[in-house]
Amino acid sequence: MMRPMARAVVVALMGVESRFGLAAVNRQKLYGEKKRVVVDERGQATVGGWLTTDGAILLLPGGRAELYLDEHGDVVERADLEAVDAEGRLLSRSESTLDVPQELTGPVSAERLLEHVSTSVYTLEPESLSESLRQSLERGEIWETTFSFTASFARSPLFILKSGEGYFGLVCEAAPLELVRRASPPPVVDDDPLSDDELDFSML
């Protein structure tokens, strides 16, 4: 029996689809992992816990939960939560973009990418790649599309590019920074008192 195909990033360029398998890139994969273990006086690994504010109870892992409560103190299920925009308008939830073809925009400039902050990085493994997109990525061009790993209220920009290490997808959000520059160059300050006057030979 054939195993179902793993979910993938699917993009479309000029009506031709390309499909990429994806795997998250994280610090552990890049640099390995170090784990600090606290031991007791017998050298046995200890277990972390949480002490209540009054110091009366020690909660071990699994002994606490985070809940959403309404104004009456009743629990609100996560599935019942709703999102609104800055004006209070109700937002609708968008489905995941995985396995759903998304139109590519571009190629975009490097400046366009630098206007964003990367929140996640994925290695992309081409499962089927159109020749035009392959050639473009080989030339170092960058393409943009939209991405949402799961159903959510907002989709993020996804930039697809290729380096010497392979294909990558950068999930981003707009940088909350605004470039600041002088409206005009600063005035030139000349410390020489004679710079703008005729030379006075009587001072020699």
Q: What is the DSSP string of the chain?
A: -PPPPPPEEEEEETTEEEEEEEEEE-HHHHH-------B-TTSPBP---EE-TTS--EEPTTS----EE-TTS-EE-GGG--EE-TT-PEEPPBPP-TTS-EE-EEEEPHHHHHTEEEEEEEEEEEEE--HHHHHHHHTT-EEEEEE-SSSBS--EEEEEEEETTEEEEEEEEE-S------SSPPPPP---TTTTS---GGG-
**Residue bearing the bigger pLDDT, 130 or 186:** 130
Q: What is the pLDDT of residues 18-60, one digit of tens each?
A: 999 999 887 777 777 788 888 888 888 888 888 888 888 888 8
What is the pTM assigned to this prediction? Answer: 0.65
Q: What ranges do the domains of the chain cover?
A: 1-25+93-176
Q: What is the pLDDT of residue 82?
A: 78
Instruction: Give yes or no for residue 113 having a pLDDT over 70.
Output: yes
> Residue 9: what pLDDT?
92
